[in-house]
Structure 1
Amino acid sequence: MVARLEREVALAPGPVRDALLALPREVLIPQAYVRRSAPDETPRRWDLLDWSKPGDRDELLRLLYSGESVPIQHDGEPILSRIPGPRSGGAITAMSSVAGMTADLLHQLGLGRGQRVLDVGTGAGVTASVACFVCGHDGVVTVDIDRHVSEAARARLAALGYRPVVATGDGTAGWPAQVPYDRIFISFAVPRVPPALMSQLAPNGRALMTLGTSSPSWPGLAVVTRSESGVVEGELIAVEFGHRGGWGFDRLFLSREFRDQITTSPGDWTRRSRLEPPADTARGMWLALDHFFPGLVRHFGADHLTIGAPECGSWMRVCPADSGRWDVTGAGPRDVWAELQDVAGRWQAAGSPHTYRLEIDADGTQRVTTSCGALSWPIPAPCRDHGDIR
């Protein structure tokens, strides 16, 4: 797995690589789920594989070292002392993230010996184990909202010889008992930078987290630092992949029926345009689109650019026509193509940025802007009616 990540340039030489190379994942994750149902099949079906069963070991090893995400909990169940076998219905409620993304983010975090680290969202404990290996477990705190996840991680980290503080609680509130932290890492998407975590960040400290909306299509990586004098600064980087939303995070998705509709329906209108759709690599534009015109989800499985707004039923697809022109078909109350071109024009006028400045004021105000201020948007405070994002 490590060699494959190195070939894919997702893992650079250094302490994170050494930690992953030394980590026996079957000790940290002796049980994991493998999905047996088709993508759109309901109810969903899984099998819980167990390292103690010789017949499960080959498949479990392939899963653990595939580099893909590994489901570890179903419907909030207790994790220790589970009986392996099939499960039906419900949902996966905890998992270990994709190895390449985790490795890249931990490399960017800049872990070093003796640092105090706060790991928010314990999951399978992979991030905590890397932090213990690199920094020493005495300075590591890992927090998860689910006590079953915390209990399992505590036992399995101990089996590796690591004894960090493993706590249960709202990770966005941090863990005041061990402040300040030199490094803070959140392993789930949040809608804004949690103010409590910034107050717990040490001078010269760094925090990383995925900033996302209800759409899974266009995440941003927030990199926040505190200077020696205490000034908090940040940047928001448009990225291809990010962490999923945490507990309580409303997440839009395109149902199978809606996907079929937007790829086959004649729509309400079709127009021919000489404007070329923005490239997939124009991630700074897509990130801005997600904030200026929220509620859109990209259908990445379609042959051509296809976007839907599941809350109102609007959609748009773009297909190449002839002589550098494009056929744009749409339906619903929103003109998604017009929204797209509006943001694309503003993004280009601002210099086509890939990275934005993330302003975090002492009063809780947060704003994303370009260095010249030509393109900017606020990050709203959470709505109390929808609960806390954890």
Structure 2
Amino acid sequence: MDQRGDWPERSAWIRDGVDALPRHLFAPRRVWRWDGHAYVPVDHGHDPAGWADEVYAGPDAATVTQVTNGLPTSSLSCQAVVVDMLDSLLLEPGHRVLELGTGNGWDAALLDRRAGPGLTVSVEADPDLAETARRALAAAGVMVDVQVGDGNQGWAPKAPYDRVIATYAVERIPWAWVEQVKPGGRIVTPWGRLGHVALTVADDGRSATGWVQGLAQFMPDRRTLHAEPGFTQVRAGSEPDGEQPFVRDLAPLRDDVHLRFALRVALPDLRIALAEDADGLNAWIHDARQSWAVLSAVGGGRTIALQGGPRRLADELEAAWNTWLEQGAPDLYDFGMTVTDSGTAQYMWVNDSQSGPRWPVT
């Protein structure tokens, strides 16, 4: 973090907090490592060095702390993202804070250290995780009120709050979050599993708007975790409707985070996976329902598109890509979000919340 200049200058308290409340104090004695085929346990008692390697794998690496049915369901978020989101929160001493998604309690401890003892409420859906977090927080001498509940409902008994921060990704902003924040207060949340936004609640409390703050991948709300079909399932539902050349180089789809974010905004239901073979870069695309496309490298710098289902996903992808270029290829920090009308109207916009192009959040 020091070498990369990743500690935010305006939030020096975060560096002090991480030093005082190091990550390993909130890591369970069993964490999980991906061995290329499955998640395998790494226990502190049997392999303390391996355990430490997982907890401190690097600023950009999350530590998987819970696996359910072979898939990760909780983690200690990577330190760089934790720091970035806390910086975006603009938290000051004396602020009342609501955290949604306690996990192992590390974020809650950092919030408490900044806001002051007893001013942070944290809501966790998993009772076992909530109890684990309570024990870790108590051992660290931290006073956080950890409640078991649905984070999307916020926590009304202690409202209103000056700040709300979520540690899991949502597609739409729950209106309860806006209702429970004071006018002028701030909401920081991962959106769309790809980035995080910081919204300011309007003076009349009837809307919230703000800018995208950063790019990272987050676990979704537990109710949607693993609920959608994968490419193979969608592909099995229809045969390709012919083939056509796809003339655009696919490398930016892999390498340009700003393009990827713009496509996520314009085509929120598309799921895109990429892999390279001897012929070049390939893409598998589906909408988690009935439509799919494969962009297949065939050698010699050529790519062909196969599509099936009611939608033409390769064509939609190319059209959204063209629109982004026509708009001057805005980067992810040029995008923002507005939530209004009791949460029924939510949209992303670019460059200007009033006059810029906008896309509904569905």
TM-score (norm 1): 0.76
1:38 to 17, 36, 39: 36
Q: In the alignment, residue 7 of structure 2 is paired with which amino acid? A: L
Following TM superposition, by how much is the alpha carbon of 1:9 offset from its aligned partner in structure 2, in angstroms? 3.8
1:113 to 1:157, Cα distance in 2 relative to 1, 3 A: same
Alignment of 1:361 with 2:336, yes or no, is: no
Distance 1:107 1:93, change over 3 A: same
1:290 and 2:286 aligned: no
Q: 3-state SS of the aligned residue for 1:279?
A: helix
Distance 2:191 2:308 in 1: 29
Is the CA contact 1:221–1:237 (under 8 Å) kept in the aligned structure 2? yes
SS in 2 for 1:15: helix
User: Mapping of 1:128-167 within 5 angstroms?
Assistant: 128-167=108-147
Distance 1:98 1:272, change over 3 A: closer
Identity across matched positions, percent: 23
Query: Greater shift after overlay, 149-158 or 365-374?
Result: 365-374
SS of 1:299's equivalent in the other structure is strand
Counterparts of 2:176 and 2:212, CA distance in 1: 22
Larger mean Cα displacement after TM superposition, 163-172 or 90-99: 90-99
- Richer in strand (by share): 2
1:328·1:337 contact (CA, 8 Å) conserved in 2? no
Is 1:315 matched up with 2:293?
yes
Secondary structure of residue in 2 paired with 1:111: coil
Shift of 1:319: 4.9
- For 1:175 and 1:157, the matched residues in 2 are separated by 19
**How far apart in 2 are the matches of 1:181 and 1:35?**
37
Q: Tell me if structure 1 keeps the 8 A contact 2:207–2:341.
A: no
Paired residues, what number?
343
Return the alpha-carbon distance in structure 2 between the equivalents of residues 292 and 35 of structure 1: 34
Task: Letter of the 1:327 partner, please give it.
Answer: T
What is the one-letter code of the residue matched to 2:40?
Answer: W
Q: Which shifted more, 360-369 or 101-110?
A: 360-369
In structure 2, what residue type is equivalent to 1:375? P
On the 8 A contact 2:120/2:144 being kept in 1, the answer is yes
Whether 1:222 aligns to 2:197 is: yes
2:306 is aligned to 330
Kindly state the Cα deviation for residue 107 of structure 1 after the two structures are TM-superposed: 1.5
Give the secondary-structure state (helix, strand or coil) at the position aligned to 1:153. Answer: helix
Q: How does 1:1-390 map to 2 (within 5 A)?
A: 5-13=1-9, 14-35=12-33, 37-39=35-37, 44-50=38-44, 53=45, 55-67=46-58, 68-75=61-68, 89-212=69-192, 219-227=194-202, 230=205, 232-237=207-212, 239-251=214-226, 252=228, 268-271=242-245, 273=247, 275-277=248-250, 279-280=252-253, 283=257, 285-302=259-276, 304=281, 306-309=283-286, 311-312=289-290, 314-317=292-295, 319=297, 327-333=303-309, 334-354=311-331, 355-364=334-343, 365-370=345-350, 371=352, 373=355, 375-380=357-362
Q: Cα deviations across residues 262-293 of structure 1 (Å, max 9, x unaligned)?
A: xxxx99524263x4558346545434433544
Q: What's the CA shift for 1:182?
A: 1.6
Question: Residues 352, 139 of structure 1: CA spacing in aligned structure 2 closer, same or farther, 3 A cutoff?
Answer: same
Q: 1:373 to 1:306 in 2, by over 3 A?
A: farther
Query: Which runs of 5 or more structure 1 residues have no equivalent in the other structure?
Result: 76-88, 381-390
Question: CA separation in 2, counterparts of 1:163 and 1:184?
Answer: 17
After TM superposition, the score normalised by the length of structure 2 is: 0.82
Structure 1 residue identity aligned to 2:212? I
Distance 1:125 1:377, change over 3 A: same
